[in-house]
């Protein structure tokens, strides 16, 4: 029995001796595997406590048993870009601390001692691989998204059918974000042998945003829309503006945006009215909000106000809300709602057009 206990104790001691350790100002010690230092926080994965995030200024002692990727202050991505290098200089070294200094030990060179404040970034192998993948990806790489299809119908005294589809895709790198979207609905009803369409609308578009200075971005976008029951053959909008990241946390983000766009609408009202087009410059402003409600459910919300610069008092307003719940690794249940308002519709038609879709979605990308 003593031999067994001694063996277990030795195994535990050996495991601890080959684990990363972080000591805090209050005397607590966290043992596990250092994942990354990003900003002012250090992340370590512990067998007992799971993933732990620690303020960097509370760390008094740190030790790693394997080489980590370390970037020193002054070698950020922005600095590397200014110096026309592909990425910041990365030091592969084990980490130790002595007399308040961080000691970086590389296999080839002599140990280097630096102040804790000069440590800009720390990444383990997985984090470094993920980071490098974002630096110079191909145009078709890094896309993630969901394709959703929904069907509904009745049979009997009334025969109805509805078909909805939606698709979203996003590509995010260290310096820019690209996104595309598409959604459509078509429904019809047959009552007493008479068939008629009850809804038919399509919306889509793309957006590209270039990030700079951490919280700001400059963007360009293009939106398209068709709505049979608004007599809208085509709405074509192209524009651009500036964005500001007002809030960013582990669970979500809030971005504010504003700018200018060009809008061209082509309408085909019911005879005897004749088709016509309207063009105008617009100033727009709004927000984009994302929030992780649970481990499986995310919501996204987007709102835009478009004020017409050619016709006083005329405007458009778009509000879109979506939620997706993960069912499995690649399967989701999705719900989307959109309210697009036009202050001066054709022939007294209603100014509001609602489009809501729900269905099972398939995710792609990683």
pLDDT of residue 77: 46
pLDDT mean for each 10 residues of the chain (366 residues): 45 53 90 90 88 90 90 61 57 84 84 87 89 81 92 82 93 92 92 82 96 91 95 97 93 96 95 92 97 93 97 95 93 93 89 88 86
Task: For the beta carbon of residue 343, count every other beta carbon within 10 angstroms.
Answer: 14
Question: Which of 79, 112, 135 is a domain's end point?
Answer: 135
For residue 350, give its domain range: 143-364
Residues 204 and 125 in one domain: no
Same domain, 235 and 351: yes
Instruction: Give the domain-ending residue among 135, 160, 185.
Output: 135
Q: Do 128 and 188 lie in a common domain?
A: no
Of 306, 303, 319, 310, which is closest to residue 277 (Cα–Cα)? 310
Return the pLDDT at 197. Answer: 85
Identify which of 205, 346, 186, 185 has the alpha carbon closest to the alpha carbon of residue 267.
346
Give me the pLDDT at residue 87, please.
Answer: 60
pLDDT value for 48: 82
CATH of the domain at 278: 2.40.230
| Total H helices, total E strands in the chain | 3, 22
89 and 227 fall within a common domain: no
Kindly state the DSSP code that residue 328 receives in the 8-state scheme. Answer: S
Residue 10: the pLDDT is: 44
Last residue of a domain, one of 106, 135, 164: 135
- Asked whether residue 283 is domain-assigned, the answer is yes
- Are 240 and 109 within one domain? no
Position 11 scores a pLDDT of 43
Q: Is residue 172 part of a domain?
A: yes
> If DSSP codes are grouped into helix, strand and coil, which group holds residue 309?
coil
The span from the CA of 252 to the CA of 250, in Å, is 6
Q: Which pLDDT score is estimated for 83?
A: 43
Q: Residue 282 belongs to what H/E stretch?
A: strand 276-292
Query: pLDDT value at position 75?
Result: 53
Model's pTM, two decimal places?
A: 0.74
Sign of the torsion formed by the C-alpha atoms of 325, 290, 210 and 78? negative
**pLDDT confidence of residue 135:** 78
């Amino acid at each position: 029995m003593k031999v067994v206990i001694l063996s277990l104790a030795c195994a535990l001691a050996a495991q601890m001796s080959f684990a990363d350790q972080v000591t805090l100002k209050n005397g607590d010690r966290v043992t596990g595997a250092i994942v990354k230092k990003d900003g002012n926080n250090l992340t370590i994965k512990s067998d007992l406590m799971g993933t732990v995030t620690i303020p960097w200024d509370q760390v008094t002692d740190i030790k790693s048993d394997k080489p980590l990727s370390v970037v020193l202050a002054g070698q950020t991505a922005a600095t590397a870009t200014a110096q026309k290098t592909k990425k910041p200089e990365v030091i592969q070294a084990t980490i130790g601390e002595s007399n308040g200094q961080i000691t970086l030990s590389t296999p080839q060179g002599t140990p280097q001692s630096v102040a804790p404040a000069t440590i800009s970034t720390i990444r383990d192998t997985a984090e470094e691989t993920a980071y490098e993948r974002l630096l110079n990806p191909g145009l078709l790489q890094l896309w993630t998204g969901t394709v959703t299809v929904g069907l509904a119908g009745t049979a009997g005294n009334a025969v109805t059918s509805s078909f909805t589809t939606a698709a979203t895709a996003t590509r995010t790198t260290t310096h820019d974000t690209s996104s595309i979207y598409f959604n459509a609905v078509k429904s019809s009803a047959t009552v007493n042998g008479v068939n008629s369409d009850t809804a038919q609308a399509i919306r889509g578009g793309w957006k590209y945003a270039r990030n700079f200075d951490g919280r700001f971005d400059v963007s360009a976008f293009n939106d398209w829309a068709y709505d049979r029951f608004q007599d809208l053959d085509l709405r074509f909008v192209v524009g651009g503006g500036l964005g500001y990241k007002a809030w960013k946390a582990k669970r979500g983000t809030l971005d504010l945006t504003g700018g200018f766009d060009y809008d061209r609408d082509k309408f085909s009202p019911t005879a005897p009215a004749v088709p016509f087009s309207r063009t105008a410059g617009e100033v727009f402003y709004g927000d984009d909000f994302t929030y992780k409600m649970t481990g499986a459910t995310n919501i996204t919300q987007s709102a835009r106000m478009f004020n017409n610069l050619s016709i006083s008092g005329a405007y458009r307003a778009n509000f879109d809300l979506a939620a997706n719940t993960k069912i499995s690794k690649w399967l989701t249940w999705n719900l989307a709602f959109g309210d697009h308002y036009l202050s001066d519709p054709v022939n007294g038609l209603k100014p509001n057009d609602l489009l809501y879709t729900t269905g099972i979605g398939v995710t792609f990308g990683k």
